[in-house]
Homo-oligomer: A and B are copies of this chain.
Amino acid sequence: MKNKTIAIVFGAQSYEHEISIVSAIAMKKVLQHKLVYIFIDQNRSFYEIPADIIKSNLFSSGQYKKFGQLYLEKKGFFKKTLFGMKKLEFDVVLNLTHGGDGEDGVLASLFKFYEIPFIGPRVEASVVSFNKYLTKMYAKECGVKTIDYEYYTKDDEINIENFPVIIKPVRLGSSIGISIVHSKEELDYALDVAFEFDDAIIVEPFCKGIKEFNLAGTKANGEYLFSMVEEPSKGDILDFDKKYLDFNRTSQAQEAKVSKELINALEDSFKKLYNNLFEGALIRCDFFVLDGEVYINEINPIPGSMSNYLFSDFNSIITTILENLPKVNLIPINYEYVNTIQQAKGKA
């Protein structure tokens, strides 16, 4: 195994912009590959940030702007120099842009269009996991249970009779815009909050005391590589401090004390969801277990700090992924049809 150069892409127009910075910096501690950092600022300009001095206040202070701006063109990111455009050297991108732009398919599309190899969800996988409504229907189709829900858009009349419920904007990551509503009195405020972030929501019954288990993994070279199973020690909803800790994690998690049977059931559900939509990505599935049944809560196609803390050898997992990225087939275009028409016209 030769060490590669990985370009960590992070930031962007996203409610999770800041969390992405935290995740990106954490990679320095857990990857042995050479890293280069490509920051996308809130205006969607690209900057190369030197890996040896990267820290969070470079971004909040605006100092990142003193580093070189990059331009995305065919097959790479380029810097303007006195002698023309100079390509930034790296072997593969690791997409660490959480939330909008990163997980909604936009960056995956850019990398596809400009033919840049990357670790991360492809366009379809991004869309299916970013939109909770699409995740629900996808999971059902794969034969994996999800918690019952109602889907509402902004203009719908909303009737909720049984409480508590949990209200979630369909498109946001982490816990942004999510409320637990215990009674009718609390409903309007929670709806206002959710619709501030999105034009559609889902409403689920809130099952207090439900068990939650996280499992990360990937499929490379036809084989699944799984992390340990963790039972996250969360409160009802992650507040910012907890989320910060979550995205900043670099030390090994504690393995959940669960039966081999449950681990098998979780891995089984993971496989059904992963195959083959998520190829090229390391994802984390957040499952619920209720009365012995496994439910998928969320598919994180770019988990906080890549869930490195769930793997005993995270670096080699990333190496395996980057050496087995999905193949890209380019279509040969030979103008057969147009030529046929031209000839037909010529004969007429």
Chain A residues engaging chain B, CB cutoff 8 angstroms: 13-15, 17-19, 21, 42-45, 56-57, 59-60, 71, 73-74, 100-101, 104-110, 112-115, 123-124, 127-128, 131, 133-134, 136-138, 140-141, 153, 199-200, 240, 244, 275-276, 330-333, 335-342
Asked if B127 contacts A124 (CB within 8 A), the reply is yes
Instruction: Give A123 to B131 CA distance when docked, in angstroms.
Output: 11
Asked if A109 contacts B123 (CB within 8 A), the reply is yes
Asked if B18 contacts A337 (CB within 8 A), the reply is yes
In the complex with contacts A109-B109, A109-B110, A140-B137, A338-B21 CB distance below 8 A = yes
List chain B residues, Cβ under 8 A from A200: 276
Instruction: Give A326 to B92 CA distance when docked, in angstroms.
Output: 34
Can you report 26 residue pairs joining A to B where beta carbons are below 8 Å apart? A13-B330, A13-B333, A14-B331, A18-B335, A18-B336, A42-B331, A44-B74, A44-B114, A44-B115, A56-B338, A57-B342, A60-B338, A60-B342, A71-B73, A100-B331, A107-B109, A109-B110, A110-B110, A123-B123, A127-B128, A133-B141, A137-B138, A153-B276, A199-B276, A240-B340, A244-B341
Asked if A128 contacts B123 (CB within 8 A), the reply is no
Which residue of chain B lies nearest to A17 when distances are taken between CB atoms in the complex?
B333
Which residue of chain B lies nearest to A19 when distances are taken between CB atoms in the complex?
B337
List chain B residues, Cβ under 8 A from A106: 109, 112-113, 123
Question: Of B13, B134, B244, B339, which is within 8 A of A60 by CB?
Answer: B339
Known pairs A44-B113, A56-B338. 4 more at Cβ < 8 A? Answer: A13-B330, A106-B112, A153-B275, A199-B276
Instruction: Give A115 to B44 CA distance when docked, in angstroms.
Output: 10
Asked if A56 contacts B199 (CB within 8 A), the reply is no
List chain B residues, Cβ under 8 A from A112: 106
List chain B residues, Cβ under 8 A from A338: 18, 21, 56-57, 59-60
- Closest CB of chain B to A339's CB: distance in Å? 6
List chain B residues, Cβ under 8 A from A101: 113
List chain B residues, Cβ under 8 A from A113: 44, 101, 106-107, 109-110
- Closest CB of chain B to A329's CB: distance in Å? 9
Instruction: Give A276 to B276 CA distance when docked, in angstroms.
Output: 28
In the complex with contacts A42-B331, A124-B127, A56-B109 CB distance below 8 A = no
Which residue of chain B lies nearest to A170 when distances are taken between CB atoms in the complex?
B124
Asked if A42 contacts B74 (CB within 8 A), the reply is no
Q: Which 10 A-B pairs have the closest CB atoms?
A: A109-B109, A60-B335, A127-B127, A106-B109, A42-B333, A18-B337, A60-B338, A137-B141, A56-B338, A137-B137
List chain B residues, Cβ under 8 A from A140: 137
Which of A44, A276, A335: most chain B CB closer than 10 A? A335
List chain B residues, Cβ under 8 A from A337: 18-19, 240, 244
Instruction: Give A131 to B17 CA distance when docked, in angstroms.
Output: 30
Instruction: Give A124 to B333 CA distance when docked, in angstroms.
Output: 27
Asked if B124 contacts A43 (CB within 8 A), the reply is no
Which of A15, A106, A115: most chain B CB closer than 10 A? A106
